Amino acid sequence: MHFRDFIILFFYVCHCLYSCAAQSYVLDDKYGLGRTFDGIGGLSGGGATSRLLVNYPEPYRSQILDYLFKPNFGASLHILKVEIGGDAQTTDGTESSHMHYKDDENYFRGYEWWLMKEAKKRNPNITLIGLPWAFPGWVGSGKNWPYDFPDITAYYVVSWIIGAKQYHDLDINYVGIWNERKFDTKYIKLLRYTLDKSGLKGVKIIASDNLWEPITMCMLIDQELHDAIDVIGAHYPGTLTVSEALMSDKQLWSSEDYSTFNDDVGGGCWARILNQNYVNGRMTATISWNLIASYYEELPFGRDGLMTAEEPWSGNYVVESPIWITAHTTQFTQPGWTYLQTVGHLLNGGSYVALTDGLGNLTIVIETMTHDHSVCIRPPLPAFNVSAQNATFNLKGSFSSLEMLQVWYSRFDFKTNKSKFFQKLEPIKLSRGSFTLNLNVDEVYTLTTLKTGNKGTYPKPPDSAPFPKQYKDNFNVRNPAFTEAPDFADQTGVFEYFINMTDPGDHVFTLRQVVTQRPVTWATDADQTISIIGDHAWQNISLTCDIYIETPETGGVFVGGRVNKGGGSVRDAKGIFFWVFADGTYRVTNDISGNIVMAKGLSGTRAGVWHTLTLNIEGDFASGLLNGYPLWKNATILGPSNGWAAIGTSTFEFAQFDNFYVNAN
Ligand SMILES: *[C@@H]1O[C@H](CO)[C@@H](O)[C@H](O)[C@H]1NC(C)=O
Ligand SMILES: *[C@@H]1O[C@H](CO)[C@@H](O)[C@H](O)[C@H]1NC(C)=O
Ligand SMILES: *[C@@H]1O[C@H](CO)[C@@H](O)[C@H](O)[C@H]1NC(C)=O
Ligand SMILES: *[C@@H]1O[C@H](CO)[C@@H](O)[C@H](O)[C@H]1NC(C)=O
Ligand SMILES: *[C@@H]1O[C@H](CO)[C@@H](O)[C@H](O)[C@H]1NC(C)=O
Ligand SMILES: *[C@@H]1O[C@H](CO)[C@@H](O)[C@H](O)[C@H]1NC(C)=O
Ligand SMILES: *[C@@H]1O[C@H](CO)[C@@H](O)[C@H](O)[C@H]1NC(C)=O
Ligand SMILES: *[C@@H]1O[C@H](CO)[C@@H](O)[C@H](O)[C@H]1NC(C)=O
């Protein structure tokens, strides 16, 4: 904080003490303005959080995208941050890399390219950010560490930025280091150098997407590092920052925040975060993890998104309260606007911020959230007591002559469940630059000179429905925009569409596991690969799938049911796993790591030949068929009682799958 800010703060605290009975607040630009606002955004990835969105049928998919990105419609986001896929598990799944192998480059994998283009189509001004969580194994030369060869890591990241422009005409505005992991100052400087050398001087660097320290201290003592970094980005700051960060001349961002279940309580958390990240911590951008809850809800952090779209099979989606809370700020500001210095807490709890475009427009956002912070974010903030209050705002400086403000209003009602969101109220007439609000608890107000606000709507989407009990995919019908088969959610490894033009028969179009080396991981990936699909509540299933082991002698493939865990817990997944191996054996295990053996024996399976596996699970027993003939039967299941269907491999190895069919009737 500058000395001048102290004086002003002191002035308003005193002012407040003298006039507490009146509870009045001054909004003034007389002494200059505060920091430049950089926007509010959502994060797709870290990981696979948008996985199911891409499989929504139209018109629902476009409607969902409108609620997220379309200006003056819904959340009207200013920022889209995406994961730079690294082939590894990054919370709710893996995201595909643009370079699986050393000599490999492909900028059409996964769905983040598509998502960025859809966002840009709706808001050409949207700010784009890329950040790696994990890296393909070759980037670390086999070690779980990307900095031993920083030139390779910088080349890998900069290639992604160049590919975004070359193949998708996307300008990436910011790039990060390594999500929530250690940084290496040598690497950051080299990344800056590599960007500059590649004609990407305009791409700014965020560091370090972790805590405020030690990055801030390192920047203070290392001028070259300080010059290389444009934004200090902290995660889950709890609205607070550190004094060294305030003293630096860098923008401060909450580059990942929220991570709360998106019911109304979550919406309330988000309202408080959006205001108080600036009021308490002078952060000028806040990014929600995650953008949209589009992953199986039983994976970790189910529904921690601004809205929910987790049923592509039904088309059902839910525009949750955080969308409208976001709109309270995003629809009435733009990156490049400036906060007033006169922001703060309300005397009976809650907070207010004010921003201006410098052309006379003013937007004020007020929140009076009550509920317990412990449900909101980590670490929890100190709790405040909030009660009803009358607040008078006095507009001074260039705003003193404003006569009218538009009013947008939300009210959380946790008791009667009759919350109201983003309602347009009658404009307020100002009398000599002053107005008074009768504030209740758990309210959000926007008061603004802008008349552009709009609560977008679409007809009610289809009703929610469980995953279909019968599901088949022969991987022949493909949406060429995507490399993944619908609804398969990779938890270790990457499963891609594959074409084998020389296949003589029915297996030209298959699904192939393509990660052949353990990645530089971010979470604890399994030593096996696995992709899940279906309904976590499934108990009794019959699953048939053609499989093709590609690795002679050591290769192995499985089909599974009742798989109970994914995400960062994928190593601990239990279920019924039916494996066949290139060495002519089979095994049935109760866990993905293959330690709890339920049955085993000879199968005659080998690499380079298609086999058909069938797994039947009913009640406490399971049986398996190979090429239509019983191979093992009546294996006793001790647990789990339910879970997803799955396919996978016994190591990081190539293998193919075809004619997948699951029946859960
Ligand atoms: C994009 O930004 C420009 C310049 O600030 C502005 O004139 C234009 O209205 C913006 N477009 C949208 C869709 O917000
Ligand atoms: C406010 O913003 C609008 C729309 O961007 C612009 O036309 C107007 O000049 C700005 N200033 C005032 C005082 O309304
Ligand atoms: C909140 O109010 C309650 C009851 O009035 C009081 O016991 C508590 O100390 C207050 N907490 C804070 C943080 O002011
Ligand atoms: C706010 O002011 C109104 C009169 O305008 C009064 O009836 C009400 O009690 C006040 N509320 C509070 C919390 O002071
Ligand atoms: C509030 O409404 C939602 C959706 O209609 C419902 O799921 C939830 O159980 C309700 N909560 C209470 C406390 O009634
Ligand atoms: C493609 O099919 C041919 C002919 O069956 C086979 O020899 C080859 O191994 C297949 N390639 C892959 C990668 O599956
Ligand atoms: C699964 O099968 C068992 C044994 O037949 C039966 O008791 C159980 O109800 C079935 N579960 C479901 C969800 O149908
Ligand atoms: C399966 O095994 C159980 C005991 O483990 C036995 O009671 C049951 O009869 C067997 N069922 C079949 C079909 O063999």
Domain containing residue 591: CATH number: 2.60.120.560
For the Cβ of 359 lying below 6 angstroms from any atom of ligand 2, the answer is: yes
Amino acid 370: pLDDT: 86
Amino acid 105: pLDDT: 98
For the Cβ of 360 lying below 6 angstroms from any atom of ligand 2, the answer is: yes
Ligand having the closest approach to the CA of 449: 2
* Mean of the per-residue pLDDT values of the chain: 95
Q: How confident is the model at residue 25 (pLDDT cuts 50, 70, 90)?
A: very high
Ligand having the closest approach to the CA of 76: 1
Residue 196's alpha-carbon distances to 22, 153, 205, in angstroms, are 55, 15, 11
Measured in angstroms, how far is the CA atom of residue 572 from the centroid of ligand 4?
57
Measured in angstroms, how far is the CA atom of residue 263 from the centroid of ligand 5?
9
Go through the chain and tell me how many residues it has. Answer: 665
pLDDT tens per residue across span 139-157: 999 999 999 999 999 999 9
Give the separation between CA 264 and CA 374, rounded to whole angstroms: 15
Q: Which residue lies with its CA nearest to atom 2 of ligand 2?
A: 361
Structure tokens that stand for 167 in this block = 């193949």
Amino acid 415: pLDDT: 81
pLDDT tens per residue across span 528-583: 999 999 999 999 999 999 999 999 999 999 999 999 999 999 999 999 999 999 99
Secondary structure string (H, E, C) spanning 67-93: HHHCCCCCCCCCEEEEEECCCCECCCC
Give the separation between CA 335 and CA 360, rounded to whole angstroms: 16
Quote the percentage of the chain above a pLDDT of 90. Answer: 93
Burial of 157 (0-12, 13-18, 19+ CB in 10 A): buried
Amino acid 381: pLDDT: 54
For the Cβ of 389 lying below 6 angstroms from any atom of ligand 4, the answer is: yes
For the Cβ of 502 lying below 6 angstroms from any atom of ligand 3, the answer is: no
Give the separation between CA 381 and CA 399, rounded to whole angstroms: 33
For the Cβ of 440 lying below 6 angstroms from any atom of ligand 4, the answer is: no
Out of 329, 362, 393, a domain closes at 329
Amino acid 375: pLDDT: 66
Phi, psi torsion values for 511, nearest 5 degrees: -110, 130
Measured in angstroms, how far is the CA atom of residue 529 from the centroid of ligand 6?
21
CB atoms within 10 A of CB 378: 11
Ligand 2, residue 360: give the atom nearest the CA: 13
Phi, psi torsion values for 108, nearest 5 degrees: -125, 15
pLDDT tens per residue across span 238-292: 999 999 999 999 999 999 999 999 999 899 999 999 999 999 999 999 999 999 9
Is position 640 within any domain? yes
b/e per residue, 18-38, with b = 16+ CB within 10 A?
A: eeeeebbbbbbbeeebbeebb
For the Cβ of 539 lying below 6 angstroms from any atom of ligand 7, the answer is: yes
Is position 368 within any domain? no
Give the separation between CA 347 and CA 386, rounded to whole angstroms: 9
Q: How confident is the model at residue 37 (pLDDT cuts 50, 70, 90)?
A: very high
Amino acid 416: pLDDT: 83
Measured in angstroms, how far is the CA atom of residue 564 from the centroid of ligand 8?
25
For the Cβ of 361 lying below 6 angstroms from any atom of ligand 2, the answer is: yes
pLDDT tens per residue across span 425-474: 999 999 999 999 999 999 999 999 999 999 999 999 999 999 999 999 99
Is position 8 within any domain? no
Measured in angstroms, how far is the CA atom of residue 331 from the centroid of ligand 6?
54
In the predicted model, is pLDDT for residue 382 greater than 70? no
| Residue 95 annotated as catalytic | no
For the Cβ of 385 lying below 6 angstroms from any atom of ligand 3, the answer is: yes
For the Cβ of 619 lying below 6 angstroms from any atom of ligand 7, the answer is: yes
Asked whether 439 and 366 are in contact (CB, 8 A), the reply is: yes
Note down the domain range covering 235: 38-329
Let me know the angle formed at the C-alpha of 30 by 26 and 34, rounded to the nearest 5 degrees.
80
In the predicted model, is pLDDT for residue 661 greater than 50? yes
pLDDT tens per residue across span 383-422: 568 999 999 999 999 999 999 999 999 999 988 889 999 9
* CA within 13 Å, CB half, 552: 1
Packed helices 112-122 and 60-69: angle between N→C axes, nearest 10 degrees: 70
Ligand 1, residue 336: give the atom nearest the CA: 5
Pocket test for ligand 6, best of 503, 507, 511, 606 (most atoms within 8 A of CB): 503
In the predicted model, is pLDDT for residue 46 greater than 70? yes
For the Cβ of 620 lying below 6 angstroms from any atom of ligand 7, the answer is: no
Amino acid 414: pLDDT: 81
Asked whether 250 and 232 are in contact (CB, 8 A), the reply is: yes
Is position 234 within any domain? yes
Q: What is the mean pLDDT of residues 619-623?
A: 98
CB atoms within 10 A of CB 15: 13
Asked whether 402 and 430 are in contact (CB, 8 A), the reply is: yes
Structure tokens that stand for 157 in this block = 């990241």
Give the separation between CA 437 and CA 623, rounded to whole angstroms: 69
Is position 636 within any domain? yes
Sequence-separated (6 or more) residues with CB below 8 Å from residue 460: none
Ligand having the closest approach to the CA of 358: 2
Ligand 8, residue 634: give the atom nearest the CA: 1
Residue 307's alpha-carbon distances to 257, 304, 317, in angstroms, are 15, 8, 8
Is position 560 within any domain? yes
Q: How far apart are the first and last CA of the chain?
A: 64
Is position 360 within any domain? no
pLDDT tens per residue across span 66-98: 999 999 999 999 999 999 999 999 999 999 999
Whether residue 290 is preceded by a cis peptide bond, meaning omega within 30 degrees of 0, is yes
CB atoms within 10 A of CB 117: 15
For the Cβ of 448 lying below 6 angstroms from any atom of ligand 2, the answer is: no
Residue corresponding to tokens 């299941």? 637
For the Cβ of 331 lying below 6 angstroms from any atom of ligand 1, the answer is: no
Q: What is the CATH number of the domain that holds 268?
A: 3.20.20.80
b/e per residue, 640-654, with b = 16+ CB within 10 A?
A: bebbbbbbbbbbbbb
Q: Which residue lies with its CA nearest to atom 13 of ligand 6?
A: 500
Catalytic residue among 180, 244, 298, 550: 180
Measured in angstroms, how far is the CA atom of residue 347 from the centroid of ligand 3?
14
Is 118 or 20 the better-scoring residue by pLDDT?
A: 118
For the Cβ of 124 lying below 6 angstroms from any atom of ligand 7, the answer is: no
Amino acid 326: pLDDT: 99
| Residue 112 annotated as catalytic | no
Q: Which residue lies with its CA nearest to atom 7 of ligand 8?
A: 634
In the predicted model, is pLDDT for residue 169 greater than 60? yes
Out of 291, 314, 329, a domain closes at 329
Q: What is the mean pLDDT of residues 212-223?
A: 98
Structure tokens that stand for 201 in this block = 């001087």
Ligand 3, residue 382: give the atom nearest the CA: 13
In the predicted model, is pLDDT for residue 659 greater than 80? yes
Ligand having the closest approach to the CA of 418: 5
Measured in angstroms, how far is the CA atom of residue 119 from the centroid of ligand 1?
14
Q: Which helix (H) or strand (E) holds 269?
A: helix 264-279
Out of 329, 354, 379, a domain closes at 329
Measured in angstroms, how far is the CA atom of residue 118 from the centroid of ligand 1?
17
Let me know the angle formed at the C-alpha of 577 by 574 and 578, rounded to the nearest 5 degrees.
170
What is the identity of the amino acid at 32?
A: G
How many independent structural domains does the chain possess? Answer: 2
Ligand having the closest approach to the CA of 303: 5
Give the separation between CA 21 and CA 17, rounded to whole angstroms: 9
- Which residues approach ligand 6 with their CB closer than 6 A? 500, 502-504, 608
Q: How confident is the model at residue 335 (pLDDT cuts 50, 70, 90)?
A: very high
Amino acid 402: pLDDT: 98
Catalytic residue among 83, 112, 256, 653: 256
For the Cβ of 634 lying below 6 angstroms from any atom of ligand 8, the answer is: yes
Is position 544 within any domain? yes
Measured in angstroms, how far is the CA atom of residue 24 from the centroid of ligand 8?
78
Is 478 strand, coil or helix?
A: coil
Ligand 7, residue 538: give the atom nearest the CA: 13
In the predicted model, is pLDDT for residue 322 greater than 70? yes
